[in-house]
Amino acid sequence: MKSMGAAVLFASAHQPQRVLNASRIADVVIVDLEDAVAPDARADARTKLLEISTQLDPARTIVRISPAQTADFALDLATVLKANIPTCMLAKTESADQLALAAPLKVIALCETPLGIVNAASIAAADSCAGMMWGSEDLALELGIANSRHNGRLSPVLEFARYTVLFAAKAYGRASIDAVFPDFSDDLGLRTETIRAVEAGFEAKACVHPRQVETVRKAFLPGTEDVAWASNLIAQASLRDEAVFELDGSMVDAPVVRRAQLVLARASSAARTRSDHLEDT
């Protein structure tokens, strides 16, 4: 898969035109065969995915398939393989063994149950794991939490799950995707939550509506002051032989230089992703 990009947009497989539109708008489209499709419509959704599969970029497409313990799992898996899409998202992932069942696909593990959160590290360690995502709404339901967010902030226990999955992804070098922000009419809430995800180190945030895509992209884009700081620091570091030096009243060492490099890499990645997106459209 190409660089994940910041904005990952869900689209239901039973609405093929929305899937195609999402693939043009977002950095990555997640074609949903699970929660967004009613149980009695899933066979039709699988057929519709196959009908449009040649119009999708395999490098920017993920298919969310049903949990491993359900009857739809094998049918969904067969559909993804037939569509020649190399990456799936396994709903309600709870163990590394479940990822093996999806072979030979690469898997984005969606941890959205207590067991999935508890096993996040071993899941991320699996060879076929391409990335980790956590799900706030399903997890809140499993925990018996009435509201996933209070006054614009995630419930503390959900914050714990969020960072548990993030640490697992970072420990094993997997992509990290933050949960969806369900209220697509609340741009400020989405931006605030996305900025926190960026500051924590997530690489992408999932979206449930096209209008969320630009808000997420902008939140991931480093500000001009951050880019200027990073560029100046890297330039100064290249002129010095010492491993530690003072710059503008602050001590600079290897981790600070690395942070500056990450800022520039994120800015470059955002520009590259946008260029790829424009070419594809």
CA dist 139 and 158 (Å) reads 8
Q: What angle do CA 198, 105, 167 make, to 5 degrees?
A: 30
137 vs 261, which has greater pLDDT?
Answer: 137
Q: Single out the residue of 256, 227, 229 nearest to residue 244, CA to CA.
A: 256
The confidence score (pLDDT) of residue 273 equals 60
* C-beta neighbour count of 11 within 10 angstroms: 25
pTM above 0.95, yes or no: no
* Token pair belonging to 40: 């009695």
Q: Note the pLDDT tens digit of each residue in 196-218.
A: 999 999 999 999 999 999 999 99
Q: Single out the residue of 86, 95, 48 nearest to residue 68, CA to CA.
A: 95
Helix axes 42-52, 72-82, angle to 10 degrees: 10
Instruction: Find out whether 8 and 205 touch, Cβ atoms under 8 Å.
Output: yes
| Longest Cα separation, the chain | 67
Cis peptide before 255 (omega within 30 of 0): no
Q: Note the pLDDT tens digit of each residue in 79-131.
A: 999 999 999 999 999 999 999 999 999 999 999 999 999 999 999 999 999 99
Cβ contacts of 151 within 8 Å, gap of 6 or more: none
Q: Is the pLDDT of residue 2 over 80?
A: no
Q: Single out the residue of 158, 179, 166 nearest to residue 120, CA to CA.
A: 166
What is the arithmetic mean of pLDDT over 246-253?
A: 89
Q: Is 158 helix (H, G, I), strand (E, B) or coil?
A: helix
* Token pair belonging to 210: 């096209």
The confidence score (pLDDT) of residue 227 equals 82
Phi and psi, residue 203, nearest 5°? -95, -20
